[in-house]
């Protein structure tokens, strides 16, 4: 695959997580719907009321739409906005983890379950205890344990928390202070709760110094993803207002992680969000841009392209086609 490929250009979806289940690739994206609300930095214009699941035999094959698998009206604690989700599998059950604003307009992370990767998914009565913010990514380590990475600034509300507690006036640190990091927590054996208090995912520069809040080209903003390549943990993420996908590597899934570089330069459209998976010995980047909608930030379309590693484990930067 030499050039990026649009997967579902006629249907606006974004923020993909992709997994190989039963020999088939399943795509779990958010669903962009025109809301009529003026665009703002908190994302109020994103009217996301449901999730569809898509699948395909390979990154080059035709995509199947399995329809709506979870609707906000079926979630007991729902307020609004189903943003980026992820799915994990254990012991015959598929678990869909989703961020959703509760009835007080605070993001929590919920769980829904299914016996099939294509759903439909049945939500639990309440969100995960102690959960907050957005963008859950669930990583299965080699020993079979599962970990959730999560968090996002601005509309994702991560700036409202310190040490897993809400603060009275949410704000980002000063530019010379350590940047707000993503969070990670091991999941319980039943996959329905955190088994520990979430921990900070610290990002370092090559000198071993913590990335600062003013380092907008490298610091974490949202869109956590974890994958493993040749024994190393690769933590990748979006820088948000500088529109890059970056990555850092480490020897422990809790971190710290050392910044390595840019995976994807800015795309057309304000947001950037991704996942990275291996399929039959080749590695792929799934992401989104807003070209099919004419550049509207809140109407995005999924793409896929192959990624390459250098001999030292670094990732070759891909041109996103934006400014």
pLDDT of residue 57: 98
pLDDT of residue 273: 97
Structural domain including 108 reads 5-307
Residues known to be catalytic: 15, 222
pLDDT of residue 1: 65
Residue 319 located in a structural domain: no
pLDDT in tens, 103-131: 999 999 999 999 999 999 999 999 999 99
38 contacts 45 by C-beta, under 8 angstroms:
yes
Residues in the chain with pLDDT values less than 50:
none
Query: What's the length of the chain?
Result: 323
pLDDT of residue 174: 97
220 contacts 212 by C-beta, under 8 angstroms:
no
pLDDT of residue 44: 74
pLDDT of residue 63: 98
132 contacts 157 by C-beta, under 8 angstroms:
yes
Q: How many domains does the chain have?
A: 1
Domain with residue 295: its CATH number is 2.115.10.20
Residue 314 located in a structural domain: no
What is the DSSP track for 53-100?
A: EEEESSTTSPPEEEEEEEEGGG-TTEEEEE---EEEEETTEEEEEEEE
pLDDT in tens, 239-279: 999 999 999 999 999 999 999 999 999 999 989 999 999 99
Residue 163 located in a structural domain: yes
pLDDT of residue 37: 73
- 73: three-class secondary structure by DSSP: helix
CB environment 21-57: b (16+ within 10 A), e (fewer): eeeebbbbbbbbeebeeeeeeebebbbbebbbbbbbe
pLDDT of residue 38: 80
Residue 99 located in a structural domain: yes
pLDDT in tens, 134-153: 999 999 999 999 999 999 99
């Amino acid at each position: 695959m030499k050039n990026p490929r649009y997967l579902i250009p006629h249907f606006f979806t974004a923020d993909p997580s992709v997994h190989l289940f039963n020999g088939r690739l399943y795509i779990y994206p958010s669903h962009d719907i025109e809301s009529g609300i003026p665009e703002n930095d908190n994302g109020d214009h994103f009217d996301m009321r449901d999730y569809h699941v898509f699948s395909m035999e390979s990154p080059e094959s035709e995509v199947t739409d399995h329809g709506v698998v979870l609707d906000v009206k079926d979630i007991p604690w729902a307020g609004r906005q189903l943003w980026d989700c992820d799915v994990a599998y254990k012991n015959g059950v598929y678990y869909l983890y989703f961020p959703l604003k509760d009835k007080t307009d605070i993001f929590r992370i919920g769980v829904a379950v299914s016996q099939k990767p294509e759903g439909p998914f049945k939500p639990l009565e309440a969100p995960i205890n102690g959960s907050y913010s957005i963008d859950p990514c669930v990583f299965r380590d080699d020993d079979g344990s599962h970990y959730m990475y999560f968090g996002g600034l601005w509309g994702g509300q991560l700036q409202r928390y310190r040490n897993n507690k809400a603060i009275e006036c949410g704000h980002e640190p000063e530019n010379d202070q350590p940047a707000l990091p993503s969070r990670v927590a091991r999941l319980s054996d039943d996959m329905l709760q955190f088994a520990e208090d979430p921990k900070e995912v610290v990002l370092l520069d090559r000198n071993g110094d913590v990335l600062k809040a003013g380092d907008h080209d490298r610091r974490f903003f949202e869109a956590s993803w974890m994958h493993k390549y040749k024994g190393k943990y690769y933590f990748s993420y979006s820088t948000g207002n500088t529109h890059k996908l970056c990555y850092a590597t480490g020897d422990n899934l809790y971190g710290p992680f050392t910044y390595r570089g840019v995976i994807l330069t800015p795309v057309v459209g304000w947001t950037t969000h991704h996942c990275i998976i291996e399929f039959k010995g080749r590695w792929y980047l799934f992401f989104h841009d807003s070209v099919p909608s004419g550049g509207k930030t809140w109407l995005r379309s999924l793409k896929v392209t192959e990624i390459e590693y250098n001999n030292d484990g670094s990732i070759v930067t891909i041109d996103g086609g934006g400014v």
